[in-house]
Structure 1
Amino acid sequence: MTLFLAASACLLIITLCYGSLCAATPFGNCRKCKGFGYALKTNRRGQLKPGKTCRRCRGDRKRIRVGRHLYNVAMRLHHDGTRPTPASSRSESLPWS
């Protein structure tokens, strides 16, 4: 196998694995607070205590994955682009009038 084919196969496998991960679990841990929901602070003694709630996840501890967000945007764009326009009355929907 040439280097190009090996790289293409690896890229395809990685893409399919990430796609299946986004389909199975669309939400992942917040990367800023590492899934705690708040920033950890230390007091003067060195003990950990909770600080402010995380601004990214707003304390929910989970955020939507980038791949799932892109999938949602693409599906919304497709749905909006292919939606039929509703007819306001019956006479407007007839093709021969």
Structure 2
Amino acid sequence: MTPILLLASLTFLGYTLCYLAVCTVSPWGRCRRCHGRRFHRTAIGTRRDCLRCDGTGIRVRIGRRLIDYIRAEYRAGKP
């Protein structure tokens, strides 16, 4: 294995572990559609509650969904 490939693999592994740690400690993130403002502007310029986050401005991170899925599968006893 070349040193560059090894360094890239370790960097990717480190980034993944840090992201999963952040998802474990802080499962909520800002909504991507409304950017945490709880509303978005429509085509005609009016303000509407964000449908993606139901007007809360926060959403569950993708990594946290993955962690919850793995936990549920483990508890169900599926390999």
Question: Under a length normalisation based on structure 1, what TM-score does the superposition of the two structures give?
Answer: 0.70
Give a deviation string over 1:5-46, Cα, whole Å, max 9, x none: 1101110110111011101110100000000110146x9xxx
Please report how far the alpha carbon of residue 81 of structure 1 lies from its aligned counterpart in structure 2 after TM superposition.
2.0
Letter in 2 for 1:71: I
Highest RCO, 1 vs 2 (Cα 8 Å, sep ≥ 6)? 2
- Distance (Å, rounded) in 2 between the aligned partners of 1:14 and 1:50: 40
Partner of 1:8: 9
Q: Which of 67, 80, 84 in structure 1 is aligned with 2:76?
A: 80
Opposite residue 75 of structure 1, the aligned amino acid is R
* Structure 2: distance between partners of 1:77 and 1:14: 24
**Structure 2: where are the runs of 5+ without partners?**
none
Match of 2:32 in 1: 31
| Secondary structure in 2 matching 1:4 | helix
Residues 32-82 of structure 1, C-alpha deviation per residue, up to 9 Å, x if partnerless? 0000110146x9xxxxx9711001000011100000001101111111227
Structure 1: 5+ residue stretches without partners: 44-48, 83-97
CA RMSD of aligned residues (A): 2.1
- Structure 1: 4+ residue segments shifted above 3 A: none
